[in-house]
């Protein structure tokens, strides 16, 4: 299919709307929709919080508020319109009822309840359907949802802030702050679009982090689930991370301390473990069952390395400060390699300056 420059521009606009939905749409995908007729945008919208309108319905309502007729219009939508009755009616049916003439879809929905059915509904109603415009961008904007639909587990994003020589802290553990305020605030955007923030007990004991999403000095209204891997329940009852929704994953959830944590409002669950380490595959399976699309991993070298060694990291967001720390604490404690042939290759997808620091986004090569 050959798309025009205008097609591309409208889909880019739809992708921008989808980004606005990322912090609020979960567990649904973050979708953007732009309605165009005679070269003019007549309505647009994005996915609202679960149980509310999807992007297409929001765009239709916006068009009606502006006094526009949708007959013969073109919809640019970042994901295949849904075709089933769930918490809301099918979006494909709404587009048919409004009399659209063409629908341009960035990528298909792998949800077994949709998976091409939305396209078939539109085509059977006589609507022209074109697929694949900005497909990779659209897939990546919903990587968590896509991964959960296909693999039944969340997309794992590992975030790390380091120096030029790969250190995340001084040898004495001091790490605040290696990167600047702008990089730290940028990192909160990734927390905001995640269903869960995962860390290890080592980080909790060393730094006592809150692991919340903040806009400046204010906490955001929606907070991800905070998950602490703590096989021996070493966590302090005064730990800041226990404020708000917290899931403590351990090996024994029937002990007295587990009960105290529950009384404080935390959820404590036992999961399979080997050599005192939580089974990470079991963890991700459980988070997938909880309809968590994106996991934001902010941890120390041991847990980072465990996820990497298990090949469970899908994306890395690296903030690199223009500093050299010397003999400090590294970012990844991985198994010793004996040849370069065993090195896992990563692909640099994006890089940019954030304040004085460099941000690099990597996905598997």
User: d(Cα 43, Cα 24) in Å, to the nearest integer?
Assistant: 21
Structure tokens at 44: 């647009």
* Cis omega (within 30 of 0) for bond into 27: yes
* Angle (nearest 5°) at CA 132 between 24 and 66: 55
- Where residue 116 falls (left for φ over 0; alpha for ψ -120 to 50; beta otherwise) is left
* Angle (nearest 5°) at CA 194 between 192 and 195: 120
Beta strand extents in the chain (DSSP E only): 32-37, 40-46, 74-77, 102-105, 128-131, 155-162, 167-170, 196-200, 214-215, 218-219, 225-229, 246-250, 267-270, 273-274, 277-278, 294-297, 315-320, 328-330, 346-354, 357-364
Determine the 3-state secondary structure of 145 from DSSP. Answer: helix
Q: Which of 44, 56, 98, 315 is catalytic?
A: 56
Find how far residue 203's CA is from the centre of its chain.
22
348 DSSP β-pair partners = 362
User: d(Cα 79, Cα 75) in Å, to the nearest integer?
Assistant: 11
Q: Indicate if 56 belongs to the active site.
A: yes
**Residue 360 CB contacts under 8 Å (≥ 6 apart), including other chains:** 316, 317, 318, 320, 348, 350, 351
**Residue 212 CB contacts under 8 Å (≥ 6 apart), including other chains:** 191, 219, 220, 223, 226, 244
121 DSSP β-pair partners = none
CA distances from 96 to 45, 76, 82, 277 (A): 17, 14, 12, 52
Q: Is 182 exposed, middle or buried (0-12, 13-18, 19+ CB in 10 A)?
A: middle
Structure tokens at 210: 């809150």
CA nearest neighbour of 323 among 158, 176, 160, 166? 166
**What residues are annotated to the active site?**
56
């Amino acid at each position: 299919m050959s798309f025009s420059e205008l097609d591309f521009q409208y889909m880019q606009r739809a992708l921008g709307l989808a980004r606005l939905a990322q912090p609020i749409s979960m567990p649904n995908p973050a979708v953007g929709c732009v309605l165009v007729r005679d070269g003019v945008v007549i309505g647009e919208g994005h996915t609202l919080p679960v149980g509310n309108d999807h992007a297409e319905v929001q765009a239709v309502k916006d068009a009606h508020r502006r006094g526009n007729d949708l007959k013969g219009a073109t919809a640019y939508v970042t994901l295949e319109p849904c075709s089933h009755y769930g918490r809301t009616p099918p979006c494909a049916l709404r587009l048919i009822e409004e009399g659209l003439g063409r629908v341009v879809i960035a990528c298909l929905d792998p949800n077994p309840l949709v998976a091409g059915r939305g396209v078939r509904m539109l085509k059977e109603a006589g609507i022209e359907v074109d697929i694949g415009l900005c497909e990779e961008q659209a897939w990546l904007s919903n990587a968590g949802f896509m991964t959960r639909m296909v693999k039944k587990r969340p997309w794992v994003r590992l975030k790390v802030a380091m120096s030029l020589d790969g250190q995340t802290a001084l040898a004495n553990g001091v790490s605040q702050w290696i990167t600047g305020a702008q990089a730290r605030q940028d990192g909160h955007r990734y927390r905001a679009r995640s269903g869960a923030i995962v860390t290890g007990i080592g980080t909790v004991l060393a730094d006592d982090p809150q692991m919340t999403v903040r806009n400046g000095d204010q906490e955001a209204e929606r907070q991800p689930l905070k998950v602490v891997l703590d096989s021996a329940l070493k966590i302090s009852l005064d730990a800041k991370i226990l404020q708000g929704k917290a899931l403590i994953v351990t090996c024994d959830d029937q002990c007295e301390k587990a009960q105290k944590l529950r009384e404080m409002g935390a959820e404590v669950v036992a999961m399979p473990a080997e050599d005192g380490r939580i089974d990470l595959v079991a963890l991700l399976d459980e988070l997938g069952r909880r309809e968590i699309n994106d996991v934001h991993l902010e941890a120390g070298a041991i847990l980072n390395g465990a996820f990497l060694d298990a090949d469970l990291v899908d994306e890395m967001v690296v903030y690199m400060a223009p500093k050299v720390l010397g003999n400090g604490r590294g970012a990844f404690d991985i198994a010793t390699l004996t040849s370069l042939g065993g090195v896992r290759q990563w692909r640099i997808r994006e890089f940019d300056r954030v304040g004085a620091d460099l941000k690099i986004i990597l996905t598997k090569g």
